[in-house]
Amino acid sequence: MSKPSNSAFSAPKGVPDYVPPASAEFVAVRDGLTRAARLAGYGHIELPIFEDTGLFARGVGESTDVVSKEMYTFADRGDRSVTLRPEGTAGVMRAVIEHALDRGQLPVKLSYSGPFFRYERPQAGRYRQLQQVGVEAIGVDDPALDAEVIAIADAGFRSLGLEGFRLEITSLGDDTCRPQYRELLQEFLFGLDLDEDTRRRAEINPLRVLDDKRPHIKEMTADAPLMLDHLSQEAKAHFEEVLAHLDALGVPYVVNPRMVRGLDYYTKTTFEFVHDGLGAQSGIGGGGRYDGLMEQLGGQPLSGIGFGLGVDRTVLALAAEGKTAGSPARCEVFGVPLGDEAKAQMVVIAAQLRAAGIRVDMAYGGRGVKGAMKAADRSGAKIALVLGERDIVDGVIGVKDLATGDQRQVQLGEVVTEVGAILADG
């Protein structure tokens, strides 16, 4: 992600560039996490990059740091307040309501990926433009669905070879027990010597105070009552059933009764994936159930559950384990034409190979053999195709194994079949 020293412009602070060859790993991680959702029947949804500011203020929660401190909000030319999306769930819920997806088969199962925007202090893996893969399952309150969503995330990480992560899970209760717990927690918090901002936060959403990372606040709230100890019978049974499904699926977890997510809409099942190799900012993804969100945004009183997984964070987690995903190779085959007539022929051969699903590049600009072969090596290709004017007359082409240096002649009419067979054999 380095830039030329003489560049007149730089990317905005906290916004990473992904350029080759590092971008190959980014794509592999994003697609690997997405594939796990596709295997479970989640359809793709493409969301707007910006939305009406009110959607996030109402859907994410005004007491959250995301809304109060981190949103990129501006007035457009029509003097409407719009915000670059800080997260995906509120936008998905808006789209589901607007397009009446909730009036069809339930649950509505959707997945998405792309950039999200939060104005926060940039640090390793925590960017102002962050990349996420998310899923949402809307319309059915079933502990088995909660377990499916969590298992998709777990499978996505493992498909990339990631091992040193941990799933932490809790329940934030439901409407039958949250109000009483809120009063209990506020009574405890108001008995503490809190600063004005923290006291105001305790009035709006007291759970946010338990998420405060400042050491003196963590110490003061060490004995605070925990939601997990005050669940209703229904919420407790729901949580126990989720854990039973995870056990049956072989998804390991740790119950963390002090967990608080950074968004207000979570209820019942709430979870986070953490990786200790990333230091203090250890989260690589998380999510939970949000049973009142659709109704809050003007839709039906339907439940939902989802997650957002950090692509940037997962790339860093793989690096912490000394692993990589994807291949930096730009192509599988590199064409080396020697002369103008050979170049014209190589252009056609490259097109034929691409039509067969093989990634092909070739030397342009009239390079000599030495320069063209260097380009072939740098491309990461397994095979170089070497074609000279004499070869055209003889109807053959050189097929060179770039790993061993071995080269043999193949009939021009058979090159696509031959190259395909070599690549299939690995």
What are 90-114's pLDDT values in tens digits?
A: 999 999 999 999 999 999 999 999 9
Which residue ranges are tagged as binding site for L-histidine?
Answer: 87-89, 118, 132, 136, 261, 265-266
Burial of 185 (0-12, 13-18, 19+ CB in 10 A): buried
* The pairing of beta strand 333-338 with beta strand 383-388: parallel
Task: Please give the distance of CA 276 from its chain centroid, rounded to a whole number.
Answer: 19
The pTM assigned to this predicted structure is: 0.89
What is 333-424's CATH number, 3.40.50.800, 1.10.260.40, 3.40.1190.10, 3.40.50.1370? 3.40.50.800
pLDDT tens sequence across 125-180? 689 999 999 999 999 999 999 999 999 999 999 999 999 999 999 999 998 898 89
Arithmetic mean of pLDDT, 317-338:
94
Task: State how far the alpha carbon of 52 is from the alpha carbons of 84, 85, 312, in Å.
Answer: 9, 9, 26
**Judging by DSSP bridges, how do beta strands 333-338 and 360-362 pair with one another?**
parallel
Q: In what order do the strands lie in the sheet with 407-411?
A: 360-362, 333-338, 383-388, 396-401, 407-411
Binding site, by residue number, is 87-89, 118, 132, 136, 261, 265-266
Contacts of 90 (CB under 8 A, 6+ apart): 51, 55, 56, 59, 60, 265, 293, 297
pLDDT band, residue 187 (cuts 50/70/90): very high
Beta-bridge partners for 310? 132
CA torsion sign for 52, 55, 60, 64 is positive
CATH number of the domain located at residue range(s) 22-177+231-320 in this protein: 3.30.930.10
Query: What residues pair up with 304 in beta bridges, in sequence order?
Result: 138
Token code pair at residue 235? 């919420």
Write the DSSP symbol of residue 104. Answer: S
pLDDT at 186: 92
Local structure of 156: helix, strand or coil = helix
Q: Give, as one character, the DSSP assignment of residue 402.
A: T
* Dist CA 140 CA 206 (whole Å): 28
The domain spans of the chain are: 22-177+231-320, 333-424
